[in-house]
Amino acid sequence: MKTTIKEFQNNVELRKELKNTAENAKYDQDYQTAYELNTKIEELNKNYFDKLPTVPVSFLIGSRSYYEEVVKIGKALFNNGRKMTKSRGYYCVKEIDQITEQMQKSMLADSYYY
């Protein structure tokens, strides 16, 4: 699916606003509105976010290594809707072929110490 960074960021912001409004509706016990908003979020995910191209990457945040599937738009990589840049703490970002079981085990073992 072809998309632009601007369109992606607008849809991320829209999804965030819908989630916040749905949470506020639940808090106010307006369950019908919360259900309708959650349905809109599911439709947005199905029609837009699920169709975006993803790539497996390895990266460091501090001294911890991570392996995740992230969205790739052009040359830019996005993790949870945020661009992966050094100023946000992402270092040594590299595209990899696949995330292996050993990589997942090393992340779990590393999380034990923190």
pLDDT tens track for 15-65: 999 999 999 999 999 999 999 999 999 999 999 999 999 999 999 988 888
Q: Three-class SS of residue 9?
A: helix
% residues pLDDT > 90 (the chain): 77
Domains of the chain, by residue range, sit at 5-51, 54-112
Q: What is the pLDDT of residue 85?
A: 92
67 membership: H or E segment, kind and range: strand 64-73
Answer whether 100's CB lies under 8 Å from 64's CB. no
Confidence band (pLDDT; 50, 70, 90) for 112? Answer: low
Across the strands, what pairs with 97? Answer: none
Kindly state the DSSP code that residue 64 receives in the 8-state scheme: E
Computed over every residue of the chain, the mean pLDDT equals 91
Give the length of the chain: 114
d(CA 24, CA 106): 38
Q: What is the pLDDT of residue 51?
A: 95
